[in-house]
Amino acid sequence: MIHLLIPYAVAALLVGLGLFGVVSRRNTVLVLIGIELILSGGLVLLVTSGLASGVGGDGHGRWAAASVVPLFIITIAAAEVVLALAIILALFRTRGSIDMDARLDAVSDSPPPPSQPGEAATEGAKAGGER
């Protein structure tokens, strides 16, 4: 026997923390970490709801949905992360920065990224060019 309140509270806190991360981070990769936390909060909520509803009589939920839908969400999240990281790397290569606060049109008035591989990187995340 468990108290339902505990997993519900964990889910709510994880979603809140993830949203804090999404709003407060300027590094694009760290925004993704906030998104992962939000999704994991959703997973906890789904599994708990399936347990609490008890549709189907045996607590599994109908069609084992309380296990299958979280599996689908994990898969979709993996695809999303792959695409997001590809976009981040393309952004870093073309604009030399992954700052969420950078201007969208900064690519036109900033110097083009160095084209030779192995060119010296400047300080911090300001360097563009080949990885």
Site residues for another protein, 52-111, by CB under 8 A, read 52, 54, 58-60, 63-64, 66-68, 70-72, 74-83, 85-90, 92-94, 98-99
Least distance to another protein, CB of residue 76, Å: 7
Least distance to another protein, CB of residue 110, Å: 13
Interaction residues for another protein, span 4-23 (CB under 8 A): 4-21, 23
Residues that bind another protein (rule: CB under 8 A) add up to a total of: 82
Q: How far apart are CA 93 and CA 8, in angstroms?
A: 42
Among positions 36, 55, 110, 114, the unique one binding another protein when judged by CB under 8 A: 36
Residue (of 35, 36, 34) closest to 21 by Cα position: 34
Name 99's bridge partners.
Answer: 27
CA distances from 100 to 1, 13, 60, 90, 120 (A): 45, 25, 42, 14, 24
